[in-house]
Structure 1
Amino acid sequence: MFRIGIDIGGTNIAAGIVDESYKIVKKKTIKTRNVSTPSEMIQAIAGLVKDLMKSAMVKADMVTAIGVGVPGTLDPESGKVLYANNLGFEDVPFLTELKKALGEELADKVYFDNDANAAAIGEYITGDYNAKNFVMMTIGTGIGGGVIINGRVLRGCNYAAAEFGHMTINFDGVDCNCGRKGCFEDYASVEGLMNLAWEASRSSSGKKSLLGKVSKREELDGEIFFDAVRKGDKVAKKVLDEYLFYLSEGIINIINIFQPDVLTLSGGITKAADLYLDKLKDLVSKGIYSRNSSKNTEIMLSKGISDSGDIGIIGAALIYKM
């Protein structure tokens, strides 16, 4: 028997057939930009699923579940995507229309969830964590993630739980696009780190550093920054220390609230974790409320499937389980 997972991303919509061992046996993708309306996307997803099943010679009675990870706020009772900014969705009857598009044989097998929840499910299962309570935090352009409590995903009353990036850690901080000030992701995302690095590179000492050689903000990226840190650049190292302070503050808050057995960090920034993970753990251990407890949250890097798209597919395929 098989499950099908669909991961809707900003660049690609990826679908995969997942076997009983949680391996993707067949995968297909289409470009997100090729579908400009909700109706077009729903039809495209249905077509993608049917093409995938045909090419893998998987019949409807061999499929136990079809799950979709959607980057937005969902209502599982009505089957609507209430709001998905990046997709231009608002009050879209997504699940109902997708069931119609897939047809009677598959309609009763279709589920959906927030894409971050789906990714957390994928990581939790493929990483084989021995943990009842688990938090996955993804560090990218923003900060997102998912929470699993007693083996079940915490979705919240509106499927929008675990918006880690939008807790305030600096009340007098920068304006966030969510309408608040000083949000976690404005300081501890990759974008936040690059903003800190760029600001430092424009100072008198920064202009003499390796970072100062970058002439445009859009040219500054993680590779350049962490290369400067590896080479012992003082300005870059100072920026990293500031960044780790913000990152640790957010993680401390998450641990104080959920007290998970495990908190995993994922995202491209973890490729440079050898430069900061030990210090980050030390900062967190000193700041958490339970620091004197005999047992505390284990912070580790993502250990599931390295491909974030595949994690999303597998997690989506397993939404119905959690």
Structure 2
Amino acid sequence: MQIDRLIQIIFLLLSHENITAKQLAEELGVSTRTIYRDINTLSIAGIPITSQKGYGGGLSLLQGFSLDKSYFTEAEQSNIIQALQILKSSNYPDADKALNKVAGLFSHNLQSEWLEIDFSYWGSPEKERNNITALERAVINKYVIAFTYFNSELGVTDQVVEPLKLVFKSHAWYLVAYSKHKDNIRTYRLSRIRDLQITNELFDRELPGDFSITPACKEENNIPKFKLHFSEKIAYKVYDEFQEKYIKKLDDGTLEVTFRYQLSDWTFLYLLSFGEYVEIIEPARAREILKEKAQKIFSMY
């Protein structure tokens, strides 16, 4: 499209002191006649392009020209700068260089750091904080990776996988990868990955186009329905953890949450994290299991 080519011409002119019409034509895959028509269009639009004939000449922009009054509004410029600052905060490779270049193009004065993004879990070492950057490189370059994984059932396994995609869903990052051991595509939560290693082995697998990180709905009749009562003292956490449609506020201020959970160790460890501020009302079997676990904890002290 012409508008895309016009914008490319502006960026090429910004990045070169002088460039010939022939060079622009070769770069953009069009004829020199097309380039001259585009230059005329840009000049009519107010872009100050100068032409110098002879040896060392060519097309150039008037010294001091920037994009801030041409194709991007101030709001659009700020959005672009902020997006690059987010990438920089997440340790994205070369984001710092790109940020400085774009800020220069827009004549934008960079503000002091206003945002920090940390994908690591609390208390993790610096090495773990770099996992997101390492995984990005492995996905793009198709390197097989190895790591230790802590699953939701408290199992610890050594994994060798082909990383296919990084996904941010709800409150967490996930890695979608082909597991050589399981011979299928699986999803791993990044906060449970330890000792990540990028190998020299390459792969050529692609993620199926119909893949979704959200699993197909299971038959809910096989999953027990929990009725939980939470103290209003931790209302903030309840609303952080559950959608409002599952929460009902009772007359005494108690928050009643109805949700389906498996009767697994993960479920009860999760509920124990609420301490004295949660009570299982239903199902009765779940009450007994949590009581047994609480008694074991009490016996330790």
On whether the aligned pair clears a TM of 0.5, the verdict is no
Structure of greater relative contact order (alpha carbons < 8 Å, 6+ residues apart): 1
- Structure with higher Rg: it is 2
Query: Which structure dedicates a bigger proportion of its chain to helix?
Result: 1
The TM-score normalised by the length of structure 2 is 0.28
